[in-house]
Structure 1
Amino acid sequence: MLDSCQNAQERWGGVHKLIDRWLLERQELVVAFRALRDAKPAFADKAQSRDFCGVLVDYVSAWHFEVFEQLLSEAKAFDDKRALALAEDMNPRITDITQIALDFNDHCDKAECNDPERFAQTLQALGGHLRERFELEDCLIEVLHTAHKQEAALQA
């Protein structure tokens, strides 16, 4: 998961400061996820769980309130109907995964993460959802970046 995160940073770094910052947050999320997953027992370390949840909530929120809005603005500015249609198709699934992440955060806030077996299963499931989300986000960024880079070059 971290390798694909670094790959995305190499591909999209410098496209926009907002996306750069957000990709760094993604890398921080992956590192925090791995640390929590590898902690023994992970559920018992309240500070580590709380730190992970903070990074998780910040990351998923940034997509909805900053990054996605920026991508939509770019697509509209370039009248990129393909990107707008793709965003319309993909964002509901990203929103579903956001809710899964927020539910995980709520469970940890309510100290419902005290069962080590259940916590490990829930964390593993969350990791799978995050992996899917990263792929969807990267796809949207790729479509926008590629289309707009080519159009900007033609206009120059």
Structure 2
Amino acid sequence: MRRFVPGEGSMASLYGMQAAMNLEGEWKMMFWFFIGFLAKLVGKNGVWYAKCRQASLTDDVTGTMPPFDKCIVYGPAEPDKVAENIKQRMGCYGAVVADVNDLKRSAVLGHSKGLNPKEIAKILIDNPFGNASQKTPIVVIKNYAQFVKNRNKD
């Protein structure tokens, strides 16, 4: 399967593909890969990645930054719980765990109570915090609480 994936992604790597298959299951990955191929023929992209989330969340050595550039990094197991814990520990308005890249893709994997994940994904779609050497694993969206307050007035 990895031979049919674009070369810049972690799924083009033997190790990245095997790691995702270990988590998702080989047959599930193969089934959705085939369905994704058929969907591409009719103009619908991303089916395989949507149905096999670890295919999009797993980063191999090409998709991570030091000191993790020698490791396979998996997506989070309980992203809603992680986001809620961050919110409680930091005393902030809310927190999300998101997968954002420089290819105009943004997915909120988990969020704390009171946040709208679709709105957050729209805010992050242009990846305003960078993607390469910027090293931005944690970001702050200023004035989000004010945005929500103003939106609710309308």
Structures share fold, TM-score greater than 0.5? no
Q: Compute the TM-score of the two structures, normalised by the length of structure 2.
A: 0.26
- The structure that is strand-richer by fraction is 2
Higher relative contact order (CA 8 A, sep 6+): 1
- The structure that is helix-richer by fraction is 1
